[in-house]
Amino acid sequence: MLGRSDDQQRHGQRTRNERRRGVVLCLLFEIHTHPGFGIGQRALLLRTPRGNILWDCIALLDDATEMLVRALGGLQAIAISHPHYYTCMQDWARAFGCAVHLHAADADWVMRPDPAIRHWDGETLEISAGVTLLRLGGHFPGGTVLHWADGADGRGAILSGDIVQVAADLDRVSFLWSYPNMMPLAAATVLRIAAILSPWRFDRIYGAFPGRQVMAGGAGAVQRSAKRYIELSGGTQR
* Closest by Cα among 153, 137, 130, 143 to 200: 130
Segment 58-93, tens digit of pLDDT: 999 999 999 999 999 999 999 999 999 999 999 999
What is the reported pTM? 0.90
Q: Could you tell me which of 191, 192, 225 has the C-alpha nearest to residue 207?
A: 225
Predicted pLDDT at 182: 87
What's 150's domain CATH number?
3.60.15.10
User: Which residues, at least 6 apart from 135, have a Cβ–Cβ distance to it below 8 Å?
Assistant: 103, 105, 122, 123, 124, 142, 143, 144
Q: Tell me which of 163 and 12 has the higher pLDDT.
A: 163
**Residue ranges making up the domain that contains 126:** 2-234
What is the three-class DSSP state of 79? strand
Which one is predicted more confidently, 167 or 5?
A: 167
Tell me what pLDDT residue 206 has.
97
**Domains held by the chain: number:** 1
Mean pLDDT of 221-230: 96
For β-strands 165-166 and 173-174, DSSP reports them as antiparallel
Task: Report pLDDT digits (tens) over 175-215.
Answer: 999 988 889 999 999 999 999 999 999 999 999 999 999 99
Q: Does position 12 have pLDDT exceeding 90, yes or no?
A: no
84, amino acid identity = H
pLDDT tens, residue by residue, 106-162:
999 999 999 999 999 999 999 999 999 999 999 999 999 999 999 999 999 999 999
